[in-house]
Amino acid sequence: MRGLRSALGLLFRELLGENLFLFVAILLLSLFPGLLLLKEMVPGGGEQVVHPGILFALEFVPLFFLLVYGTAALSRQRERGSLSLLFTRPLKREEWLAAHWLTLMGVLLFLELTLSLSASLFLRLLFGAPWLLPLGKHLFFSLLRAGVLTSLALLLSATLSRSIASTLFLLLSLIGQLLRSGLEASASGGGFLGKVVQGLSLLLPDLSLFDRKTELLYGLPLPGEIYLSTALYALFYGGFLFFLASLLFRRREL
């Protein structure tokens, strides 16, 4: 446990110390396109209870952040050769992986909270928009999604080189996001291929489950069962990826 704590401290210092300006850049990058370009993401349809740009930004931040840092977390250390030095300390590999997961999630939580609050304040001051209320729900789904994505990024980072890991991460994230449309298309086509796609889809991360933008945007009711089942899915699938990562990382040459 002490090992985990020291590892966490190490990683936080490394991430925040080296990349603070980059985080600010990510925030601005995600905030301004979100607020300005996507202001009319849903042009005039119904009464929106939350700004669609914020929802977009909250989804964009974890993806971009994990693409840059998550997929590089272990592979960069391995490529630098610092990983073998690190394990001269009394630290288990699972603990190191867990430290990475917690650090990435911690930074993501910080980024998303900062983003939500600043965007809400910005909209409140400029347009007098209502704030905070629906953002909490979106943060919930966004963080669950980020948890699964972090596990995925660590799995790829633990097993593959940095460039392949980031490419694969991007690909799987996109597939995960579009999974539902693909499944619908294959289901409507029917046949053997449709069934194969349906089966394969269970192996891939189904990120479309976390996509509740429409409901949040228009203030549509979301039953409590949705929150529970989505959280459980994130827990089990994220856990599955994490355990797979730790199994593979444990057996891998440093």
Partner 1 sequence: MRARSLPVLLLLLMWSLSALLSLHNRRGREGSSGETFTPLGRLIRTFSLGNEELAADLLMAKAAVGYGRRREGRGRAPLSFGDSFDTVVEVDPFNEEAYLIGARLLSDNEPERAVTLLKKGAKRLPRSWRVPELAGSLLAWRVGEPLQGAELYGIASSRPGAPLYIPALASRLNREGGEITLALEILERFSLSRGDRTLFRGRIGALRREEELFRLSRSAERGLLPLAGVGDFGEGSAEFLPERLVDFLFQEGQTLILERVGPPYRIAFTSSGPLLWAGLRKELINTRILSAGLGRSLPLSLQERVLEPLFREAEEKAKVEGSGFWGIERVGELDDSASLPNFPWLGRVRVNPWRVERLGDGRFRLLLP
Given the rule CB under 8 A, which residues bind partner 1?
37-38, 40-46, 52, 180, 183-184, 188, 201-203, 206, 209, 213-214, 217-218, 220, 225-226, 229-230, 232-233, 236-237, 239-240, 243-244, 247
CB of 21 to partner 1, least distance (A): 28
Of the two residues 87 and 236, which places its CB atom closer to partner 1 in the complex? 236
Of the two residues 35 and 107, which places its CB atom closer to partner 1 in the complex? 35
Of the two residues 118 and 201, which places its CB atom closer to partner 1 in the complex? 201
Of the two residues 33 and 106, which places its CB atom closer to partner 1 in the complex? 33
CB of 52 to partner 1, least distance (A): 8
Of the two residues 163 and 181, which places its CB atom closer to partner 1 in the complex? 181
CB of 4 to partner 1, least distance (A): 19
- Tokens matching residue 253: 């040459």
DSSP string spanning 39-98?
TTSSTT-S--SS-HHHHHHHHHHHHHHIIIIITTHHHHHHHHTHHHHHTTSS--HHHHHH
Q: Give the whole-angstrom CA distance, residue 151 versus residue 242.
A: 5
CB of 48 to partner 1, least distance (A): 10
CA torsion angle for 21, 36, 139, 6 (degrees, to 10)? 0
- Tokens matching residue 20: 């603070």
CB of 179 to partner 1, least distance (A): 9
Q: Give the whole-angstrom CA distance, residue 196 versus residue 99.
A: 37
C-beta atoms surrounding 220 within 10 Å: 11
Of the two residues 193 and 220, which places its CB atom closer to partner 1 in the complex? 220
Nearest to 68 by CA among 194, 137, 162, 148: 162
Whether 96 and 11 have beta carbons less than 8 Å apart is answered as no
CB of 24 to partner 1, least distance (A): 24
